[in-house]
């Protein structure tokens, strides 16, 4: 389908969705501007109305796979001691060493992950930071990151109460260095999953009630419109009630647009376990169906942004840094739930077969059209890291080469552009070492 036709279809669906919602709620739908942040320790109380799921007060235990593949040992022949040392070095580089760390202390009990290139704080990085901390049992860093997020990123009042301020790609592929202030669903989902994992590992009887905070975020994502008495000032749920897909932004007046990189079915499957709510299991299935439609049949590349039927929309009809995260989402689904999933293996093979044609590990470009035409020929170590992660479910002959490239990445990375490559490299290390675990 041509870009112009896809754009027209996307705009038509946006208008249709907005009109339907306006009729339903009798409210004017508008994009929401940024509001000031203030400090708070309490996430708030969301009271569901009739027709909503019963109040959730406790989380059920999670169950994951009986074992986790350790590609560094099993495929590359490294020792466990070498793997453990590399994980420690990578964590120290990101979180501890003054010259290279992206974790910045804020007083005695708060810390933030800084996007060192854009000099801002993103929920993406905060959520990834919390996930890294919980997987490697660094509770102090976890608590500091969550304390900062609640105090300084969480919206304290108005229809957006409970959502978190972040930055999103503005939809202008010519100027990605100028992201928009937004409420990014990706970071919100990372927060939720990390808090559930924290409750599993550490319990919730200490200074931070991880269980209660996770429950509030689960309710927030699903019940925001109920809490607000409809769509107010354009603020929506995080998940569309019909398609069960995640909105590109939960303040878009119901536009039927999402991003492959924010659909994380493995998380939703665990949320069903934790809550007993079939909504989340159904959301996992819908996300999988959506992702299976979105890949380019030739290259396996995913768009930055699309409508709910996987037609790329204006400003999102290409593959670049934000779409790299989709590799990780597929790999997690394979590790936790789908090691017999032939589609994930085929998707991984299609991607790696494409990148094999693009040159060596420090040669392939960082941005492409979806059918594989290079757009920006600069190299990005973040893409190398995610290609290594998606190599885990792959069966192509060259899969170990992609894994080896992750291992061989020299640490520490330096310079302003060390945030995204560094944090995705850490995620790839967790995946390939068998340390991205459910419990």
For the stretch 329-383, pLDDT in tens is: 999 999 999 888 899 999 999 999 999 999 877 788 999 999 999 998 888 999 9
d(CA 189, CA 5): 32
Whether the bond between 412 and the residue before it is cis, its omega within 30 degrees of 0, is: yes
d(CA 133, CA 128): 9
Q: Could you give the C-alpha distances from 220 to 48, 185, 212, 216, 241, in angstroms and in order?
A: 10, 11, 12, 6, 13
More confident residue, 180 or 219: 219
- φ/ψ of 328, rounded to 5, equals -65, -40
Long-range contacts of 233-239 (CB under 8 A, 24+ apart): 233/30, 233/32, 233/158, 233/159, 233/160, 234/29, 234/30, 234/31, 234/32, 235/32, 235/159, 235/160, 235/163, 236/21, 238/185, 238/188, 238/189, 239/283
d(CA 265, CA 374): 29
The 3-state DSSP class for residue 181 equals strand
Q: Which residue has the tokens 């790839």?
A: 428
Cα 180–98–134 angle (5° rounding)?
Answer: 70
50 pLDDT band, cuts 50/70/90, is very low
Least confident of 34-38, 44-48, 143-147, 382-386: 34-38
Is residue 1 over pLDDT 50? no
Total-model pTM: 0.87
| Cα torsion through 329, 331, 335, 341, rounded to 10 | 100
Least confident of 88-92, 278-282, 411-415: 411-415
Is residue 267 over pLDDT 60? yes
307 DSSP β-pair partners: 257
What is the average per-residue pLDDT within 188-205?
97
Instruction: Quote the pLDDT of residue 360.
Output: 76
Give the count of beta carbons closer than 10 Å to the beta carbon of residue 180.
14
- DSSP class of 307: E
d(CA 24, CA 196): 34
Task: Please give the CATH architecture assigned to the domain spanning 3-432.
Answer: Alpha/alpha barrel (1.50)
Domain boundary assignment for the chain? 3-432
Instruction: Quote the pLDDT of residue 254.
Output: 62
Instruction: Quote the pLDDT of residue 41.
Output: 40
d(CA 362, CA 384): 8
Q: Could you give the C-alpha distances from 20 to 26, 231, 259, in angstroms and in order?
A: 10, 12, 22
246 DSSP β-pair partners: 239
Cα 119–261–427 angle (5° rounding)?
Answer: 65
Least confident of 33-37, 187-191, 350-354: 33-37
The 3-state DSSP class for residue 426 equals helix
Residue count (the chain): 439
Q: Could you give the C-alpha distances from 81 to 27, 73, 87, 132, 159, in angstroms and in order?
A: 60, 10, 10, 19, 50
Q: Which residue has the tokens 């790329």?
A: 312
Which residues in 37-169 belong to E strands, given as ranges? 103-106, 110-115, 120-121, 166-168
d(CA 48, CA 51): 8
Average pLDDT over the chain, rounded to an integer: 87
Angular region, 107: left φ>0, alpha ψ -120 to 50, beta rest? left
d(CA 423, CA 298): 29
Q: Which residue has the tokens 């409508």?
A: 307
Helix (H) or strand (E) holding 367: strand 367-368
- φ/ψ of 239, rounded to 5, equals -105, 135
Q: Which two tokens stand for residue 414?
A: 């330096």
Q: Which two tokens stand for residue 142?
A: 């976890």
311 pLDDT band, cuts 50/70/90, is very high
Q: Could you give the C-alpha distances from 76 to 82, 356, 409, in angstroms and in order?
A: 11, 19, 15
More confident residue, 26 or 243: 243
Name which of 70, 126, 65 is nearest 435 in CA terms. 70
- Cβ neighbors of 433 (< 8 A, separation 6 or more) are 70, 71, 72, 83, 86, 87
Instruction: Quote the pLDDT of residue 373.
Output: 96
Are 291 and 330 within 8 A, CB to CB? yes
């Amino acid at each position: 389908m041509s870009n112009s036709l896809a754009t027209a279809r996307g705009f038509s669906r946006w208008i249709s969705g907005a009109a339907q919602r306006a009729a339903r709620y009798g409210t004017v739908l508008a994009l929401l501007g940024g509001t000031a942040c203030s400090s708070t320790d309490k996430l708030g109380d969301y009271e569901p109305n009739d027709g909503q799921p019963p109040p959730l007060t406790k989380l059920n235990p999670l169950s994951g796979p009986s074992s986790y593949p350790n590609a560094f040992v099993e495929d590359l022949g490294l020792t466990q001691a070498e793997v453990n040392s590399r994980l420690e070095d990578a964590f120290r580089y990101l979180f501890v060493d003054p010259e290279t760390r992206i974790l910045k202390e804020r007083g005695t009990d708060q810390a933030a992950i800084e996007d060192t290139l854009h000099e801002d704080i993103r929920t993406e990085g905060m959520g990834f930071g919390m996930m890294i901390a919980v997987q490697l049992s660094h509770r102090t860093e976890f608590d500091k990151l969550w304390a900062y997020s609640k105090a300084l990123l969480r919206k304290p009042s108005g229809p957006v109460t409970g959502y978190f301020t972040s930055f999103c790609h503005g939809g202008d592929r010519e100027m990605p260095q100028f992201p928009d202030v937004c409420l990014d669903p990706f970071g919100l989902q990372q927060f939720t999953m990390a808090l559930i994992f924290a409750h599993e590992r550490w319990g919730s009887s200490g200074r931070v009630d991880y269980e209660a905070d996770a429950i509030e975020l689960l309710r927030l994502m699903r019940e925001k419109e109920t809490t607000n008495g409809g769509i107010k000032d354009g603020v929506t749920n995080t998940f569309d009630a019909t398609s069960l897909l995640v909105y590109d932004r939960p303040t878009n007046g119901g536009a039927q647009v999402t991003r492959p990189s924010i659909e994380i079915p493995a998380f939703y499957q665990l949320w069903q376990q934790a809550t007993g709510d079939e909504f989340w299991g159904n959301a996992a299935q819908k996300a999988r169906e959506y992702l299976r439609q979105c890949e380019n049949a030739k290259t396996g590349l995913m768009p930055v942004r699309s409508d709910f039927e996987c037609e790329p929309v204006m400003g999102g009809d290409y593959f670049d840094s934000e779409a790299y995260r989709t590799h990780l989402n597929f790999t997690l689904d394979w590790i936790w739930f789908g090691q017999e999933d032939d589609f994930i293996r085929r998707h991984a093979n299609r991607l790696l077969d494409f990148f094999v044609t693009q040159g060596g590990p420090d040669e392939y470009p960082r941005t492409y059209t979806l059918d594989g035409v290079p757009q920006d020929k600069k190299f990005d170590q973040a893409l190398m890291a995610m290609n290594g992660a998606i190599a885990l479910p792959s069966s192509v002959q060259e899969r170990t080469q992609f894994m080896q490239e992750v291992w061989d990445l020299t640490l520490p990375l330096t310079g302003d552009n060390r945030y995204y490559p560094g944090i995705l490299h850490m995620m790839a290390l967790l995946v390939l070492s068998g340390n991205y675990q459910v419990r």
